[in-house]
Amino acid sequence: MAVPEYDYLRYAFLKYSSDGKVHHIQQTVDALANYFDLSIEDREALTKNGKNYEFRYRCHWVKTYLTKANLLDAVGRGKYQITRRGVEFFEAHESDVITRIDLMQFPEFAEFATPARQTDHIENFGEHDESEEQTPEDVLENTYQQLAKALKDDLLDTVLSVSPAFFERLVVNLLLAMGYGSSLDSGDRIGQSGDGGVDGVIREDKLGLDTIYIQAKRYARDNGVGRPAIQGFVGSLMGIGATKGVFITTSYFSKQAIEYADSINNLKVILIDGQQLATLMIEHNVGVSVQRTYEIKQIDENYFPDV
């Protein structure tokens, strides 16, 4: 048979995951290829751009869709496990397909799949498909935004899977890529036992007269950073006479932590949460690479004479 459509693939993916075990995406791709009895030709059929295997590409996107609906949970790099919601949904689902409309009942997926300007129409999604009124440019923009959202989550999952030492080097590299420091060798990771709450430094001038100190905390997304952690970092900065600090985490900051950082006198502390971290990494090409680019051209009215 040909490569299955997304509706059938979503159902098969969730069915395979319903055993409650932790699965790896590559093993899932192989298992589903066998489930659909795909030939070698079907398994190796390429996408239109010729850069990916179509079946594997669809499986990766299905994992993303089901994760966005909170039917699956990412538990490591390339690994996932069905959630309680996923089990309940699968057991109650009476069809052998899972459509996009089925997933739109979940607010998390609806937010992911719906462009910001269409948020007010989510409730009517099943009655009227807004995409019919979109221009090709709108479709491209909406797809781009969806890709960006998925990339942020995948990027944070990957960052959470690395070692603390690698994460500390990563944040130093990010600040250097953002233009801080006098040269690419102006930053160092210094995080170690007894580091006093400082994991890295960026020397903004060649003599090191102006220095940014970094604290990097690789926390699970639901493990927020509270005021005590910021107070500890501020204490470390004061102890070494610093005037600038950046606290970066993969999770989020509590309201009290943000208010405390904003209230400090004679010391500038910038807080960067997980979403900001992923956005900055993408913007400055740290840990990501350009897969392909598209140019959209239009008639240059100034080139042609008036008729």
pLDDT at 56 over 90: yes
Question: CA 274, CA 279: separation in Å to the nearest integer?
Answer: 9
Query: Residue 28 phi/psi, 5° resolution?
Result: -65, -40
Tokens read off for 174: 């990010």
- Cβ neighbours around 227 below 10 Å, total: 16
pLDDT at 132 over 60: no
- pLDDT tens column, 220-239: 888 999 999 999 999 999 98
Which of 135-149, 154-168, 178-192, 279-293 has the lowest average pLDDT?
Answer: 178-192
pLDDT at 195 over 90: no
Which sign, positive or negative, has the C-alpha torsion 214, 215, 217, 221?
A: negative
pLDDT of the residue at 114: 76
- pLDDT tens column, 240-264: 888 999 999 999 999 999 999 999 9
Residue 197 makes CB contacts below 8 A (sequence gap 6+) with 215, 232, 233, 235, 236
pLDDT of the residue at 133: 53
Residue 97 makes CB contacts below 8 A (sequence gap 6+) with 7, 8, 10, 11
Amino acid sitting at position 42: D
Which sign, positive or negative, has the C-alpha torsion 35, 38, 40, 45?
A: negative
How many percent of the chain have pLDDT more than 70? 88
Question: Where does residue 76 fall: left (phi above 0), alpha (psi -120 to 50 degrees), or beta otherwise?
Answer: left
Q: Would you call 131 exposed, middle or buried from its count of C-beta atoms within 10 A (0-12, 13-18, 19+)?
A: exposed
Q: Average pLDDT of 102-129?
A: 65
- pLDDT tens column, 78-88: 899 999 999 99
pLDDT at 178 over 60: yes
pLDDT of the residue at 149: 87
**Model confidence band, residue 77 (pLDDT cutoffs 50, 70, 90):** confident
Residue with tokens 């990097």, as numbered in its chain? 216
Q: Would you call 273 exposed, middle or buried from its count of C-beta atoms within 10 A (0-12, 13-18, 19+)?
A: buried
| Domain locations in the chain as residue ranges | 6-133, 164-283
CATH number assigned to the domain covering 164-283: 3.40.1350.10
Amino acid sitting at position 65: Y
pLDDT of the residue at 30: 95
**Model confidence band, residue 288 (pLDDT cutoffs 50, 70, 90):** very high
**Model confidence band, residue 126 (pLDDT cutoffs 50, 70, 90):** very low
pLDDT of the residue at 72: 96
Q: Average pLDDT of 261-280?
A: 94
**Model confidence band, residue 291 (pLDDT cutoffs 50, 70, 90):** confident
Residue 258 makes CB contacts below 8 A (sequence gap 6+) with 271
- DSSP secondary structure, 58-91, as one string: HHHHHHHHHHHTTSEEEEETTEEEE-HHHHHHHH
Count the residues in the chain: 307
